Amino acid sequence: MALHPNIRVVRKEAHFFDLNYSKGIDWYRSMMPLSTADQVIVEKTPGYFTSAVAPKRVRELNPAMRIILIVRDPTQRTISDFTQVYYNKLEQNKTLPIFEKEAFFPDSELINPEYKPVRNSLYDLHMTNWLRYFSMEQILLVNGDVFRGNPINELRRVETFLGLAHKITNDQLIFNERKGFFCFRRTPRSRVKCLGSTKGRPHREIADDAVAKLRRNFRPHNVRFFGLVNRIFAW
């Protein structure tokens, strides 16, 4: 989104509404980039979506806040999250987690909702909390699976949602064959920039039966989520 001339992006996750709330609003404002009257500031902290307290705090700051939420197949999101945890522990020389033992209760077909990669993928639970404080008119759902393969269409939806002219172009989005996702450049002569080295990393291999069990467990949660947002995704 930083490609748009009327969008200013906070460069790091602020975690104000979940972890850093006690630091106060002046601390939060100090993180904001300078902007003009015709620019929109976007702050990205994925942890807000799954926080029990963030929605209420956001509303107390600004009841008219607009929320952008990127969602993807929760099964793949869980495996991706597990992969990140796995490699973090590998780099720290810690005991490596086993997916089946973490994601499911012992000798059971049921997921363990206390396991963070699983809990964060139960979209219906978190969306229910957000809808206590915001209407769906204030929340834009971006399809992460579509965004990865064809970002321009989803970016145009974001521009429209924020009341901005369509300024981001296909020429600014460059597909990286090695990483498997799009990188970007501001102008035809600019250097191409990609996301961090951990993005696009191959997922850990998970047994087919474990993946199938995960999908079965997520299905009723997905259906409830579709009902909440009045939209069906291909999960």
Residues within the annotated binding site for 3'-phosphoadenylyl sulfate? 72, 80, 199-203
Q: How far is CA 128 from the centre of its chain?
A: 17
| Beta-bridge mates of residue 175 | 182
Binding-site residue positions = 72, 80, 199-203
Distance CA 195, CA 184 (A): 9
Distance CA 211, CA 234 (A): 16
